[in-house]
Structure 1
Amino acid sequence: MAVIKAFKSIRPEKELAGKVAALPYDVYNTEEAIEAVKGNPYSFLHIDKSEIDLPSDTDPYSEEVYLKARSTMDSFTEKGIFIQDDTPKLYIYRLIMDGRIQTGLVCCSAIDDYINGTIKRHELTREDKEKDRINHVDYCDANTGPIFLTYESKKNINAIVESWTGKQTPEYDFVTEDGITHQVWIIDNPETIETLVDEFDKIPSTYIADGHHRTASAVKVGLKRRESNPNHTGNEEYNFFLSVLFPHDQLYIMDYNRVVKDLNSMTTDEFISKLEEVMDVESSGSQPFKPSQKGEIGLYLDDTWYRLTVKENTVDYKDPVASLDVSILQESVLKPLLGIGDIRTDKRIDFVGGIRGLKELERRCKIDMKLAFAMYPTSIKELMAISDAGLLMPPKSTWFEPKLRSGIFIHQLT
């Protein structure tokens, strides 16, 4: 059953919360992060991506970077940019995007829940990315970015959360530069905290929606500290990591689209002819085609949009992974026709989050790519089914919006 825990959050001083809050570190490259923090000395990117405040030739994985992150975090505390609650609390984090609301519970989850499979994953992690976050967590002695978890929505939990937000004034209430509203409430009532802990103890599984590398890194830091502590009890803060739990029916997954550099030595006519063997192909001319249901894929090639429809006899719909549209595209088109076997490593393919729209696919095809595929979004139910089966989704299968901001909550490990 899911273990959650209240904690004494390190968080921004109320008037600075909107300036501190930043998109996750892996949304930016170094140059983009430098641009994002211009004129804002409070941005959490100064901690989360601290190489931006070091010489341009600094290795982003050097010890110097992690030491800089720690010193900046200490400086934020000394200057009063960060404060820390004096007793363990739970927090409610609400995001509003285009009128759509998702409300999550901020808490600590147990690393043992990840180890024993109560917290379920659907992606592989890369060792180099894990190592970076392990060092960042270890040097900062804190989880600095929340893990985005989901669970099957429960009426009892929803009622408690809605009751609290309906009666209490939010501690934070600000709008970020992308127009997303962020609101935070503090749950400081011991009985309410205990009730929520008990309610989650009835939930058999939670699921990683976003943050596989941060989760794996937090777990490895916790295990390393267990080994080095002969008096380990299991109650130490390093046995838990920062998370935000959202009910599954509030989440919004956008399409995660593909752009490809060439036609693998084929002409356009040759490619379309081969494509027609595995999919129904219908031209929509210059009118962009956005898939409206599972089994539809948009193709943009040579200034023309096409509607691709998956032929049912080509798909095993009993297989939760093989039946994903991204899997069908990979196994029917990308691999056999375009020669792209491993989308993790092949430099001929790139990925475009649905937040950028179909115009971005057209733009890329005019600049550095030859063709684009517009996908129908993977559903949260598909994600949960694959996780429940102990299977893995193909890379770049989901794009969640809105993104959780880092820097609003920090969980100290000692």
Structure 2
Amino acid sequence: MPKIIPFKAVKPTRAIVGLVAARPYQSYTVDERESRMAYNPYSFLHIVNPGYKYDQEVTGEERYKLVKNRYLEFKEDGVFVKDKKPSFYVYKIVNRHGQEFNGIVAATSAEDYEKDIIKKHEDTISKREETFKSYLQTVGFNAEPVLLTYPDNALIAQIINDVQNTKYAEFEFTMTYRDTHYLWKIDDAPTITTIQSEFKNMDTIYIADGHHRSASSYLLYKDEKVKNLDHNGTESYNFFMSYLIPESDLVIYEFNRLIKDLNGLTKEEFLIKLDASYRIENRGLMAYKPSKPHHFSMYLDGEFYSLYLRKTCYTFKTSLDTLDAQLLYKTILQPVLGINDLRNDNRISYVNGHHDMITIKTSVDSGEFTVGFGMCPSNVEQMKQIADEGLTMPPKSTYILPKLRSGITIYEY
């Protein structure tokens, strides 16, 4: 029975929302950030990179305090305005590939995360959880929703469609990446109640993207709950901002793997070891891309190969075992190439499935990497089953769309 509630979002004004909205800070190169901040005084990057104002790098608690100051300045200057009524927000994204995403921005329950009503499929790093929790405690706001997905629901879909067709969008703007964003407000009590009732009838909802943000929000909730002697469960720290979209809207790509060396093996020795688990076919210069689960592509020494799993050599015991990212790890990356820590080993790198096999070829041909692997993407049902079994995927198993922007709706603690 997931609990979602409306909230009073802090939002940019309609005239400048397209200038404020920004991709996550880490997704920019240094040069990209510098360029955007130099020519756009409204970019949300000015808030999350406050040292730019003083031409120096600031970190830790000092940075958090400056982030809060920049945010308050944006509010004082009228760049951000807080809504007067708690609302849900219908949010639509149409990207440059024509893919469309429709959902609802709402506040979701940290207690539901604790009770596994909001389920996860990825491990998180404790240090990152604590860092972001401290950030939230100092700055007092969150500007990027967690991406959650729920089973397709006809009534919620009808409400979203009706809102989009009967109301003018409060926001409609296109980013430089050529994705167009729309936002409508729902603040009437009957519609809010209906949406909440539909979510209460669901058993679970799932984190699609934003595992660390969810975990940090949960840690914040635990801390503040203990500190507040008058805690009653309605305080803002009991919730975190999420963008909830139906499962059919979720788009999942794979992350392909690039490896810097063959762990001391020659090409021939490496291929012989792979032959124990895979049927191998040399495809020459043909850029082979797998089309079935448990099939992989490989680029090595100027040639493409197809790898088909010998199923008699591998036992599928859990849903995780059927995941291609796990399969590649268990049959090649760990036993043959000696990569045990997928998160921290600097011999491995990842390329999302938006890029084709030629990207892998180029990376290997440049000499930076020795071998590259491509695979099929996983699907929503695999993700859910792994979460339901209490298991977690290897790092970089999924590249999930939509990718959200910061600064369009802001949740204050």
Q: TM-score range by the shorter chain?
A: over 0.9
Q: What is the rounded CA distance, in whole Å, between the counterparts of 1:95 and 1:159 in structure 2?
A: 17
Gaps of 5+ in 2: none
Is the CA contact (8 Å cut-off) linking 1:180 and 1:402 kept in structure 2? no
Corresponding position of 1:252: 251
Deviations 1:40-76 (A, max 9, x none): 2222222234455454453x3x211101110111011
Letter in 2 for 1:333: I
In the alignment, the residues of structure 2 paired with residue 382 and residue 324 of structure 1 have an alpha-carbon distance, to the nearest angstrom, of 8
- 2:285 aligned partner: 286
The offset of 1:135, in angstroms, is 2.1
Please report how far the alpha carbon of residue 198 of structure 1 lies from its aligned counterpart in structure 2 after TM superposition.
Answer: 0.9
Quick check: 2:101–2:402 contact (8 Å CA) kept in 1? no
Change in 2 beyond 3 A, CA 1:296/1:37:
farther
User: Could you say which residue in structure 2 is the equivalent of 1:374?
Assistant: 374
Q: What is the identity percentage for the equivalent residue pairs of Structure 1 and Structure 2?
A: 35
CA-to-aligned-CA distance 1:256-292 (integer Å, 9 cap, x gap): 0110000111111221121122111112222212222
Q: Is the 8 A contact 1:287 1:305 kept in 2?
A: yes
AA at the equivalent of 1:401: L
1:403 matched to which residue of 2? 403
CA contact (8 A) 1:33 1:49 kept: no
Whole-Å Cα distance in 2 between the matches of residues 71 and 357 of structure 1? Answer: 43
Contact 2:280 2:308 in 1 (8 A): yes
Change (3 A) 1:184 1:316: farther
Greater Cα shift, 205-214 or 97-106: 97-106
Following the alignment from structure 1 to structure 2, what is the Cα–Cα distance between the partners of residues 263 and 89? 55
Give distance in 2, aligned partners of 1:283 and 1:182: 45
What pairs with 1:301-380 in structure 2 (closer than 5 Å)?
A: 301-365=300-364, 366-380=366-380
Superposed CA offset, 1:357-413 (max 9, x none): 333222321141111111211111111111111111111111012311111111111
For normalisation by structure 1, the TM-score amounts to: 0.95
> Structure 1 CA distance, aligned partners of 2:412 and 2:118?
21
Q: Counterparts in 2 of 1:60-79, with a 5 A limit?
A: 60=59, 62-79=60-77
- Looking at structure 1, the residues matched to 70 and 179 of structure 2 have their Cα atoms a distance apart, in angstroms, of 27
1:176-215 map, 5 Å: 176-215=175-214
Cα distance in 2 for partners of 1:148, 1:66 equals 24
- State the distance in 1 between where 2:50 and 2:355 align: 27
SS of the residue corresponding to residue 307 of structure 2 reads strand
For the 8 Å contact 1:296–1:310, the answer to whether it is kept is: yes
Gaps of 5+ in 1: none
Aligned to 1:25: 25
Deviations 1:216-264 (A, max 9, x none): 1111112211111111111111111100111111110111011000011
Structure 2: which amino acid aligns with 1:369? F
Equivalenced residue count is 411
Residue 160 in 1 paired to residue 159 in 2?
A: yes
Distance between the aligned counterparts of 1:221 and 1:238, measured in 2?
A: 7
Q: Deviations over 1:79-99 (max 9, x none)?
A: 111111001000011111211
Q: Within 5 A, what are the aligned runs for 1:91-102?
A: 91-97=89-95, 98-102=97-101
SS where residue 106 of structure 1 aligns? strand
Matched residue SS, 2:158: helix
Cross-structure match for 2:220: 221
* In 1, Cα distance between equivalents of 2:204 and 2:154: 16
What residue is the counterpart of 1:135 in the other structure? Answer: 134
Q: Post-superposition shift, 1:307? A: 1.4
- Is the contact between residue 316 and residue 323 of structure 1 (CA under 8 Å) also seen in structure 2? no
Of residues 74, 80, 88 in structure 2, which corresponds to 1:90? Answer: 88
Q: CA deviation at 1:10?
A: 0.3
Shift in CA distance, 318/70, structure 1 to aligned 2, threshold 3 Å:
same
Q: Is the contact made by 1:143 and 1:218 (CA closer than 8 Å) also made in structure 2? A: no
- Structure 2: how far apart are the matches of 1:7 and 1:289? 49
SS at match of 1:271: helix
- 178-187 or 206-215, larger mean C-alpha shift: 178-187
The CA RMSD over aligned residues, in Å, is 1.6
Contact 2:51 2:57 in 1 (8 A): no
